[in-house]
Structure 1
Amino acid sequence: MRLKSETSLLLIVDLQAGLLPVIEGGSRAVEEAIWLGRVAEALAIPVWLTEQYPEGLGGSEPRLLEALPSHRLWRKVHFNAHAEPDFADALVGSGKRQIVLCGSEAHICVMQTGLGLLEAGYEVYWLSEASASRRAEEARFARERMVRAGATAVTADMVAYEWLERCDDERFRQVHKRFLKPRSARPVRFF
């Protein structure tokens, strides 16, 4: 299935300040979530953040909160955000059926949220470079399990360009000019 901007929601799970120092690849996950979150906000796609036990793990990473001013914040006690009745009701009310999912820890809260969303009939898109755990191996296993369960593994670029759909309108020009530039010094390879 292709992602559509009108049916999508970006869900960033538990990228929290107190947890990130021990997350392998945590800084990159935040950067990628911010980048795609900015694209989402520019396209009027909802961006939701969750926090697990913020009293102990700290609140959401301040860079996320600053970069994504239109976000909606959910506090949760379940590892699976969809198990929170208010969250589940609001998601139904949003009318969004395609959930782009990322965060930490990938093998706990992100995966359990993804499984809950799949069980509820949502399309889940696992944002690979923005899903991290204390050990990279755990994030990899979580991604593999989610794909076997029915999620689709994606990258931020895949998502952004699917949301945009075309290059000949003002929406593309504005988003491309502001956000769709290289985010790192990663080499370009042609095969």
Structure 2
Amino acid sequence: MADKPTPSRRLQNPAIFVCDLQEKFRNAIWQFDKIVLTSQKVLRAAKILNLPLYVTTQNGSKLGPIVPEIQELVGDAVVTADKTRFSMMIPEIEPHFPHVLSSTSVAGTQKPPREVVIVGIESHICITQTAMDLRARGHKVYVLADAVSSCNPQEIPLAFDRLRAEGVTVTTSESWLYELMGDARIAEFRDIAKLVKETGQDTKTALGALMSSKI
């Protein structure tokens, strides 16, 4: 019997956006510590899978740096930039995510869309505007419901409704991780499965705290 072909990941061109997870927001954002827990899991998975990270702060001179829990995990980001624009699609990041229909590779073929997952704050402002800008450029966007939040929890389900209408996939961190892999035979599967098991209680905590207002 011929050997099975080497499996490939289901998502071929992924990237992770980490939006404005800053210390000054800790006491203002609903369930902030829970979205940090989920973001830590996502970023640990990024290390295992060697996924590119794009990180922003919002007006860092006034609102401070990224929270200490994830600073080491984002240390090798492709871009780390401060912004005043609400969308993460700022000049430092935009060149990495060109318009799909108008961009070509060196060989003259159309570049594939990126598959961008977004974690951070706020759901109805920076997350929404970033997702819509990426969609306008033809990219696939995932917003993780257990890794985003807002000051007012009532804003979140309304933001999700709008995002879905714009073609954004609203899902959970675990669902996205397994969709990213797509096959239990990929080389990193065991390490990701171990991570999911190790963070299982954190995942339950985050889902239990966040999902009541997001359904």
TM range (shorter): 0.7 to 0.9
Change (3 A) 1:16 1:140: same
Q: C-alpha displacement at 1:95, in angstroms?
A: 6.8
Unaligned residue ranges in structure 2 (runs of 5+):
1-8, 99-104, 106-110, 206-215
Change (3 A) 1:67 1:86: closer
Letter in 2 for 1:133: S
Task: Give the equivalent residue in structure 1 for 2:178.
Answer: 161
- Same amino acid, percent of matched pairs: 25
Is 1:107 the equivalent of 2:116?
Answer: no
Matches within 5 A, 1:1-191: 4-71=10-77, 72-82=79-89, 84-92=90-98, 97-177=114-194, 179-181=195-197, 182-184=200-202, 186=204
Letter in 1 for 2:204: R
Q: 1:61, 1:124 → 2: CA distance? A: 24
Letter in 2 for 1:46: P
Computing the radius of gyration from Cα coordinates, the structure with the larger value is 2
Letter in 2 for 1:129: D
Unaligned residue ranges in structure 1 (runs of 5+):
none
Letter in 2 for 1:59: P
Q: 2:14, 2:203 → 1: CA distance? A: 29
Task: Give the equivalent residue in structure 1 for 2:212.
Answer: none
Change (3 A) 1:170 1:117: closer
Letter in 2 for 1:154: T
The SS at the match of 2:188 is: helix
Deviation track 1:110-165 (CA, whole Å, cap 9, x = no partner) reads: 11111111111111111111110001111221111111111011100011111222
Give the TM-score normalised by structure 2.
0.78
Report the count of equivalent residues. Answer: 183
